[in-house]
Amino acid sequence: MSVAFAARRRRGVRPGRAVLYVLLLAVAVFYLLPVYVVVVTSLKSFIEVSNSTPWDLPRLPNLDAYAAAFDRLRLAFFNSVLLVVPGTMLSALLGSLNGYVLSKWRFPGSNLVFTLLLFGMFIPYQSVLIPVVTVLQAIGLYGGIPGLVLVHVVYGIPITTLIFRNYYAAVPTELVEAARVDGSSILGIYRHIMLPLSIPAFVVVLIWQFTSIWNEFLFAVTIASDPDQQPITVALQGLAGSLLAQYQIQMAGALLTALPPAIIYVALGRYFIRGLLAGALKG
């Protein structure tokens, strides 16, 4: 199953085209409605947010809500950066090593090992949450970002391994064989042959892990007990609790939280979709 959205040649004008466009627009309105809500509400003042025309455009658009939201979320925003950068890099590195071994150095039982790794991708994390907390407390990593980095690296291994393994499977085995005959070591082949070929897979994996870790909530709300070490999703949820009627600040905060993955999606959407479909389709 190829995942590429290959373009096909355009057919001639069809009579039903207007109907199709109306349908497409109707679906698009549903998807864009929350975007409209966020943008319009976040540009209003508290007084305007509380009046009876909440769906109207702001009369006096201003960025006060963004200043207030950023002030309250700044710390959490940088906590999330500190979480996402090492979490993403380490799980990508492990995934690429695993994918390399599982595609080019198969051994008896390697398929079983792969399937056992893969299962970890689907489990509800509630089923490991109690021992995760116990163990993190025992090794002194409970309470904040370092513990979350460890958890995201470990539970990121299945999906990163899957993406790299499927990617490396398409690299001709002759390349590996030739290098082996020339006396390259396993790590030498990885560094000099596989790694330079892996850039597209790394892009897919880095984007996928970045988005997943940035957006994650269950581990974050359970492990980050220190209020100064909360990731942004937990802080956004707290913001809504402490500023009940201040919808303009909530919406500005929602936009700040959504911004990094949204920017990545706009810039590199193609790779994001590949990561998205990796678990379901081979390609």
Partner 1 sequence: MATAQRVLAERPRRGRSALFGERAGSVLLLVPSAVLVGIFVYAFIGYTGFVSLTAWRGIVPDYTFVGLEQYRQLLELERFQADLSNTVRFTALFLTASIVLGFGAALLLDQRLRGTILFQNVFLFPLAISFVVTGTVWRWVFNPNYGINLLLERAGLGFLKSDWLTNVDTALYAVVIAAVWQMSGFCMAMFLAGLRSIPEELREAAQVDGATWLQTFRHIILPLLNPILLAAVIILGHISLKIFDLVFVMTFGGPGFATDMPGLHMFIATFRQNLYARGAAIATVLLLMVAVLIVPYLIWQQREERRA
Q: How many residues bind partner 1 (CB under 8 A)?
A: 99
User: Token pair for residue 196?
Assistant: 């330079």
Least distance to partner 1 from the beta carbon of 64, Å? Answer: 18
Residue ranges in 62-91 that form contacts with partner 1 under rule CB under 8 A: none
Pick from 198, 229, 246, 257: which binds partner 1 (CB under 8 A)?
257
Query: Residue 32 or residue 195: which is nearer to partner 1 going by CB?
Result: 32
User: Token pair for residue 131?
Assistant: 């021992």
Pick from 61, 200, 227, 269: which binds partner 1 (CB under 8 A)?
269
Residue ranges in 121-180 that form contacts with partner 1 under rule CB under 8 A: 122-124, 126-132, 151, 154-155, 157-158, 161, 180
Q: d(Cα 128, Cα 118) in Å, to the nearest integer? A: 16
> How distant, in Å, are the alpha carbons of 6, 178, 181, 186, 190 from that of 175?
29, 5, 10, 13, 11
> How distant, in Å, are the alpha carbons of 47, 148, 212 from that of 134?
47, 14, 24
Q: d(Cα 50, Cα 46) in Å, to the nearest integer? A: 6
13-42 mask for partner 1 (x: CB under 8 A)?
Answer: -x--x--xx-xx--xx-xxxxx--xx--x-
Least distance to partner 1 from the beta carbon of 62, Å? Answer: 19
Query: Residue 107 or residue 196: which is nearer to partner 1 going by CB?
Result: 107
Pick from 139, 178, 197, 218: which binds partner 1 (CB under 8 A)?
218
Least distance to partner 1 from the beta carbon of 6, Å? Answer: 6
User: Token pair for residue 23?
Assistant: 């349908």
Residue ranges in 94-123 that form contacts with partner 1 under rule CB under 8 A: 94, 97-98, 100-102, 105, 107, 111, 113, 115-120, 122-123
User: With 0-12 CB in 10 A as exposed, 13-18 as middle and 19+ as buried, what is 131?
Assistant: exposed
The answer to whether the CB of 239 falls within 8 A of the CB of 250 is yes
Residue ranges in 178-217 that form contacts with partner 1 under rule CB under 8 A: 180, 185-187, 211, 214-217
Pick from 54, 61, 200, 227: which binds partner 1 (CB under 8 A)?
54
Q: d(Cα 100, Cα 114) in Å, to the nearest integer? A: 12
How many C-alpha atoms does 75 have within 13 Å on its Cβ side? 11
